[in-house]
């Protein structure tokens, strides 16, 4: 449980001369569900993009499976089991649900296993099974979020990064999304979850980090952070 699959050390990322991430350190151990919480603009999404190779880092290093991944591209990292469910879902709107899920497995050649995983996704997300031949662009926001999560899982990731999965969803769907995140974690997938809904994220996570203005300002066991007066005042509206 204490083997770090992902280690971020001294990470700095700048946009147009403005430093969005200012030298942060954190790690995600094998089998953990770790959440990165903080207000909008804290640098959480920028951090996720740097980890997945879609945004260059200015300084520091990121290790995955014990090796530096600095300079490696997103495609390469997905092949090694580092996948991301992006903010805003990013589904292929003109493809069907089934085609979107097949795209999630495009790096794999084990066709029989891909077919088996497709059925697993339909078991995990019954709504998608009912609509498997429907174009993704015609789905509701919640259904698109489920599809994005299922597509990420189709690559069989060792580490799944999830960026704001509950954003813009109704309370009922938020409940369902967090249930699914917890279920996926229970199946052994290591998860790094970025979430503005700090209370819900800390309820299901093992550990948490608070990010503010590009810096990690607090960290600890998620359950203890839920009871921390500073966290409650700043992020839980109490």
- Per-residue pLDDT 10s for the chain (238 aa) are 577 999 999 999 998 888 999 999 999 999 999 999 998 889 999 999 999 999 999 999 999 999 999 999 888 999 999 999 988 778 999 999 999 999 999 988 999 999 999 999 999 999 999 999 999 999 999 899 999 999 999 999 999 999 999 988 889 989 999 999 999 999 999 999 999 889 999 999 999 999 999 999 999 999 999 999 988 888 776 5
**Pick from 135, 134, 104, 130: nearest CA to 117:** 104
Q: Give exposure, 77-87, as e/b (b: 16+ Cβ within 10 Å).
A: bbebbbbbbbb
Three-point CA angle 197, 63, 75, nearest 5°: 80
Tell me how far apart the alpha carbons of residues 34 and 201 are, in angstroms, rounded to a whole number: 9
pTM over 0.85: yes
How far lies 141's CA from each of 50, 58, 148, 235, in Å?
A: 26, 34, 10, 25
- 138-142: Cβ within 8 A, 24+ apart: 139/91, 139/97, 141/89, 141/168, 141/169, 141/173, 142/169, 142/170, 142/173, 142/176, 142/177
Domain boundaries, the chain: 4-235
Tell me how far apart the alpha carbons of residues 101 and 92 are, in angstroms, rounded to a whole number: 10
- 178-187: Cβ within 8 A, 24+ apart: 178/203, 178/204, 180/124, 180/125, 180/146, 180/149, 181/33, 181/149, 182/33, 183/124, 184/124, 184/149, 184/153, 184/160, 185/33
Instruction: Give the single-character DSSP code of 96.
Output: B
Query: Which pLDDT does position 225 carry in this prediction?
Result: 95
Main-chain phi, psi angles of 194, to 5 degrees: -95, 130
- CATH 3.40.50.300 describes domain 4-235: yes
């Amino acid at each position: 449980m204490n083997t770090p699959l992902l280690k971020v050390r001294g990470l700095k990322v700048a946009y147009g001369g403005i430093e969005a991430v200012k030298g942060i350190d954190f790690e995600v151990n094998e089998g953990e569900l770790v959440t990165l919480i903080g207000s909008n603009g804290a640098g959480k999404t920028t951090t996720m993009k740097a980890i997945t190779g879609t945004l260059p880092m200015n300084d520091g290093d990121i290790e995955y499976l014990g090796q530096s991944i600095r300079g490696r591209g997103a495609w390469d990292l997905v092949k090694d089991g580092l996948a991301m469910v992006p903010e805003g879902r990013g589904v292929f709107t003109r493809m069907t649900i089934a085609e979107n899920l097949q795209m999630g497995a495009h790096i794999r050649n084990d066709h029989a296993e891909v077919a088996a995983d497709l059925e697993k996704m339909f078991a995990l997300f019954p709504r998608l099974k009912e609509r498997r031949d429907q174009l993704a662009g015609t789905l509701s926001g919640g259904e698109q979020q489920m599809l994005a999560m299922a597509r990420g899982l189709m690559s069989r990731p060792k580490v799944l990064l999830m960026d704001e999965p509950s954003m813009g969803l109704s309370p009922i769907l938020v409940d369902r999304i967090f249930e699914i995140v917890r279920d996926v974690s229970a199946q052994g997938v290591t998860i790094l979850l970025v979430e503005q809904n700090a209370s819900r994220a800390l309820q299901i996570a093992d550990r948490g980090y608070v990010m503010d203005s590009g810096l990690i300002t607090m960290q600890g066991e998620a359950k203890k952070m839920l009871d921390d007066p500073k966290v409650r005042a700043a992020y839980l509206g109490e």
